[in-house]
């Protein structure tokens, strides 16, 4: 009996990591996914595919500082992936960090990002549309695409 008592005491001392059914029912799908991917990222901080999902969810939730942290981590893990540099540009833009956004966008284009239509329609980059350097970047990209 003393073993059973000790196991109960041990269970009570462990931090509770499981959620109640009421907690789960009251949450939106995006909140559930955010929690899910956050837990995986905490266990596997270099799991890039999870970090991509986590960054997108944080951005959708308006948690731009946290999304930027994730995008910076991804940029270190996958420095040669154009979409990673593009997402980093979006995070910087959403935070009003124009110079850094343009640098990341230039990097994305150097790495092979070419979707000019998406650049123009992406609401994450709206803050850059009136910046002359952004217009120059689009002109350069359009010119490069015409040459190919």
User: Contacts for 94-101 with beta carbons within 8 Å, 24 or more apart?
Assistant: 94/59, 94/64, 94/67, 94/124, 94/127, 95/64, 95/65, 95/68, 96/127, 98/127, 98/128, 98/131, 101/125, 101/127, 101/128
Distance of CA 20 to the CA centre of its chain: 28
The H-or-E segment that residue 110 falls in is helix 98-110
- CATH 1.25.40 boundaries in the chain: 1-78
Domain 1-78 has CATH 1.25.40: yes
Per-residue pLDDT 10s for the chain (148 aa) are 444 444 444 444 444 456 555 455 667 888 888 988 899 899 988 999 999 999 999 999 999 999 999 999 999 999 999 999 999 999 999 999 999 999 999 999 999 998 888 989 999 999 999 999 999 998 887 755 545 5
Q: Are 60 and 30 in contact (CB under 8 A)?
A: yes
CA atoms of 88 and 2, how far apart (whole Å) = 56
User: How many CB atoms are located within 10 Å of the residue 84 CB?
Assistant: 26
């Amino acid at each position: 009996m003393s073993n059973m008592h000790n196991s109960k005491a041990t269970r009570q001392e462990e931090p509770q990591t499981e959620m109640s059914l009421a907690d789960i029912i009251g949450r939106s799908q995006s909140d559930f996914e955010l929690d899910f991917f956050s837990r995986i990222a905490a266990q596997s901080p270099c799991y890039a595919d999870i970090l991509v999902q986590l960054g997108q969810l944080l951005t959708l939730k308006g948690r731009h500082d946290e999304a930027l942290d994730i995008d910076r981590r991804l940029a270190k893990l996958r420095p040669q992936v154009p979409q990673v540099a593009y997402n980093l540009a979006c995070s910087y833009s959403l935070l009003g960090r124009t110079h850094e956004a343009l640098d990341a966008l230039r990097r994305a284009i150097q790495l092979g990002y070419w979707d000019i239509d998406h650049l123009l329609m992406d609401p994450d980059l709206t803050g850059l549309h009136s910046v002359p350097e952004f217009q120059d970047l689009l002109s350069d990209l359009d010119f490069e695409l015409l040459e190919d």
